[in-house]
Amino acid sequence: MANSVSGGQGGGGGGPYNYSYIFKYIIIGDMGVGKSCLLHQFTEKKFMADCPHTIGVEFGTRIIEVCGQKIKLQIWDTAGQERFRAVTRSYYRGAAGALMVYDITRRSTYNHLSSWLTDARNLTNPNTVIYLIGNKSDLEAQRDVTYDEAKMFAEENGLMFIEASAKTGENVEEAFLETAKKIYQNIQDGSLDLNAAESGVQHKPASGAAGGQLPHRLGGGDSGGNKSDCAC
């Protein structure tokens, strides 16, 4: 019986707006690499031209769907200026995902990655998923860091890696979603302990209050395009 999808008219599972998990993300990297633009592109699906430097920590949220699970992402976008580094370090704690961003047109931002990585490793828990993003992939002519060397850096350090463009939106969605997918897999295979204080994940049991009234098939994730990118 093809009755594998929970929810639907039978009640029980939730509608599309009930999420089961909250994941905390941080976005780190040098000033001007486009951290806030990536966040904006992800939450608003728009490019923010003339984005002012972030002086503080911006906050964004979006509900996504991974492996049929609805997950609320809480994203903390940190100031990249060196003088704020000491303060922004305090935001790493309890992050389930860290998006570490550099600018493919500015080598210095790439050279500083090891310092960002050290912070990320020291200040988060061992299961925090660190995703390396080479931003501004639309500016191919000004490229200063090759894909291959960044890929190698990522592999050497066990990071996931993608080149993206906050301007065109290319691969932005992928970076955020794949991070969530990896975190979700860590939960599934038990390597991420939800009860640990700093897992960066909150479990929100489905209330069922709004269940049973929505079409289950599509909300459940087996519609058209979304199925293929889920391997679990």
Can you give the binding site for other proteins, defined by CB under 8 A? 1-3, 5, 8-12, 15-18, 43-45, 55-63, 79, 83-84, 86-87, 90, 207-210, 212-219, 223-226
Q: Which of 107/217 has CB closer to other proteins?
A: 217
How near is the Cβ of 169 to other proteins at its closest, in Å? 13
How near is the Cβ of 111 to other proteins at its closest, in Å? 25
How near is the Cβ of 224 to other proteins at its closest, in Å? 5
Q: Compute the distance between CA of residue 44 and CA of residue 51 in angstroms, rounded to an integer.
A: 14
Q: Compute the distance between CA of residue 42 and CA of residue 133 in angstroms, rounded to an integer.
A: 14
Q: Are strands 129-135 and 160-163 parallel, antiparallel or unpaired?
A: parallel
Contact (CB, 8 A) for 47 and 166? yes
Q: Which of 34/60 has CB closer to other proteins?
A: 60
Distances (CA, A) of 189 to 174, 185, 231, 232: 22, 6, 14, 11
**What angle do helix axes 172-188 and 35-44 make, rounded to 10 degrees?**
80
Q: Which of 140/229 has CB closer to other proteins?
A: 229
Query: Which residue from 165, 114, 109, 166 is spatially nearest to 140, judged by alpha carbons?
Result: 165
Helix/strand/coil for 137: coil
Place of tokens 């993003």: 133
Q: Which of 82/140 has CB closer to other proteins?
A: 82
How near is the Cβ of 129 to other proteins at its closest, in Å? 21
How near is the Cβ of 151 to other proteins at its closest, in Å? 31
**How is residue 106 annotated by DSSP?**
-
Q: Report CA torsion sign: 219, 222, 224, 230.
A: positive
How near is the Cβ of 3 to other proteins at its closest, in Å? 5
Q: Compute the distance between CA of residue 142 and CA of residue 70 in angstroms, rounded to an integer.
A: 38
